[in-house]
Structure 1
Amino acid sequence: MGGSWAASDVAGFLRRPTAADDKYSRGVLGVRTASVEYPGAAVLGVEAAWRTGLGMVRYVGPARDLVLQRRPETVTVDGRVQAWLIGSGTDAASRASVETHALRGILSGELPVIVDAGALDLAPGATAPRIVTPHDREHARLRKALGLADASQDDREGRAAAAIETAEALGATVLLKGGTTIVAAPSGSVRFVEAGTPWLATAGTGDVLGGVIGALVAAAATDAIPDAETLAALAASGSWLHGRAARLAAERLGPAGGPITALDVAEVLPFAVAELL
């Protein structure tokens, strides 16, 4: 049905800066995430984006002060970006109408958008190039919104078949999180990512993943808007880097690994990137 995504695949989607680059040519990611209830999602996503390697992160959201305390280099005013990350740390049920309007504006634009968590309900019917990043329960809700039948998500092949069907109906890349992450493109192609560790199953790591993918997409979009197949490859590459960073963080604690947090994963991302470069 598809192949496993490997380090050699990921290396081809990393953009090494040159002497001719500046902060704009290296990629600018816009981040519209977090809420009063879950402000840490913004800190984790922004941290991960910076540490994956790009020229600038613009944050627009309610966690501005927390983001600047952690990453003072983050820009918090509107301006040009090459890609967006939205939805992490938000809840559609409590989203204000003004925020819904702003998110719909992003999703109706031409720039690629990584759609997570509380913005997934807005993905159907959107026209922007999209990567959606649900876990299994969010995927089931997304399928229901698309009018798709319940699907088996108990095994790898069943999850893959469901993700492919969702991607085709949505017209967007689906990154289905799990012990084996499945990345399905609207064309029906699928990639499996198994670079992680069970220690990665902890709160906030999905927010980190969004930042990693966002950084890769923004960097790639400096030349041209990536097509759907390239977006799927970038999503798989972000997932692989996220998993590799988690393994590196856990292995610092011993051969069998040990407890890590989402911020631990973000902080080790530069080492995962450097390995491949």
Structure 2
Amino acid sequence: MVGSWTVQDAARVLRRPTAADDKYSRGVLGVRTGSDAYPGAAVLGVEAAWRTGLGMVRYLGPSVPTSLVLQRCPETVTVDGRVQAWLIGSGTDASARTDADTDALRTVLSSPEPVVVDAGALDLAPDASAPIIVTPHAREHARLRSILGLAEVAPGADAERAASAVETAAALGGTVVLKGSVTIVAAANGWVTSVSAGTPWLATAGTGDVLAGAIGAVVAGAGAGAAGDLGRLAAAGVWLHGRAGALAAAEFGPAGGPLTASDVAAALPRAVAEALATR
């Protein structure tokens, strides 16, 4: 039986800022996401990171998404510098990646800082030396397992999904966030949990980009020692994303209603505050 992640679990992981903090001690997330074809992914991930709570977001990407990121979140820094964690891959396509893009991503994946690896960068994850969290949906998970030389897994119940995620995490040497209506989080040491804080209304374009930004922010905000507890940090980010989706949908009545990824990002501060209030 796989345990279920709770609001109390999330609260124990999240860090409340103190009077002694500054923007650097609260965590800095470096972001290499988005493309001219999918610029919105960069905007959504950056906004989600800010709204989850950290000291700074550094966005390093193409000119079109950079312009849109600054329009939406002018507090974003767009020059390189020190970070506590990275988010890469959202809104990118591995088949369209240039050699320069690949080199930049490989540099991030060989850094000492933890890296959240999403979407178009998942193919590079098996060669990473950095501590990593990968965030595949079912089809991406199947492709990642193929790269790792693992057997194909047929769609199954949550127990079977959890077992496959644990196997993938061990082969990868990183943390796997296997997305779904119930999301499985598995660490390389065999630790595993399930997160079901969300709503079916989350099945819409862009919510995965918001999820990646939320996880990146939690990891960056954890500071020193984050790499040793990536499973729990990832699970906290997943819970916040799911709860934010539920809060956004609930604006339309007890049964919920249609939401957009931007709605989910906007609800993240309420999810964070709700979790911290249980401490």
TM over 0.5: yes
The structural deviation recorded for 1:158 is 1.2
Cα distance, 1:75 vs. partner? Answer: 0.2
Compute the displacement of 1:233 (Å): 0.4
Structure 1 residue ranges, 4+ long, deviating more than 2 angstroms after superposition: 223-226
Unaligned runs of 5+ residues in structure 1 are: none
Quote the residue 2:181 is aligned against: 179
Is 1:220–1:226's contact at 8 Å kept on the other side of the alignment? no
Query: Map of 1:95-134 to 2, 5 A cutoff?
Result: 95-134=97-136
Alignment RMSD: 0.7
Percent identity (aligned)? 70
* 1:8 matched to 2:8: yes
Report how many aligned residue pairs link the two structures. 274
Distance 2:14 2:235 in 1: 12
Distance between the aligned counterparts of 1:125 and 1:187, measured in 2?
A: 19
SS of 1:124's equivalent? helix
1:68 correspondence with 2:75: no
Aligned counterparts of 2:238 and 2:225: Cα–Cα separation in 1: 22
Q: Assess if the C-alpha contact under 8 Å between 2:29 and 2:83 holds in 1.
A: yes
Q: Quote the offset at 1:155 in angstroms.
A: 1.4
What are the residue-to-residue correspondences of 1:12-161 with 2, within 5 Å?
A: 12-62=12-62, 63-161=65-163
> Per the alignment, in what secondary structure is the counterpart of residue 152 of structure 1?
coil
Taking the aligned partners of 1:272 and 1:75, their CA distance within structure 2 comes to: 25
Residue 225 of structure 2 aligns with which residue?
Answer: 224
> Hey, what's the Cα distance between the residues in 2 that align with 1:264 and 1:98?
34
Residues in 2 aligned to 1:265 and 1:117: alpha-carbon distance in whole angstroms:
19
> How far 1:13 moved relative to its partner?
1.1
* Whole-Å separation in 1 of the counterparts to 2:226 and 2:160: 31
Query: What whole-Å deviation, never above 9, does each CA across 1:203-230 have from its counterpart, x for those lacking one?
Result: 0000000000000000112x33421xx1
1:30 partner SS: strand
Q: Which residue of 2 is the match for residue 250 of structure 1?
A: 249
Q: Which residue of 1 aligns with 2:217?
A: 215
Q: Which residue pairs with 2:238 in the alignment?
A: 239
Counterpart-to-counterpart distance in 2, 1:153 and 1:170: 20
Structure 2 counterpart of 1:198: 200
In 1, Cα distance between the equivalents of 2:127 and 2:79? 28
Q: 1:189 Cα shift?
A: 1.4
Runs of 5+ consecutive residues of structure 2 not aligned to the other structure: none
Asked whether the 8 Å contact 1:143–1:149 carries over to 2, the reply is: yes
Deviation at 1:2, TM superposition (A): 2.4
Output the CA distance in 2 between the equivalents of 1:144 and 1:44.
Answer: 29
Alpha-carbon separation, structure 1, partners of 2:137 and 2:129:
22
Residue of structure 2 in register with 1:167 after alignment: 169
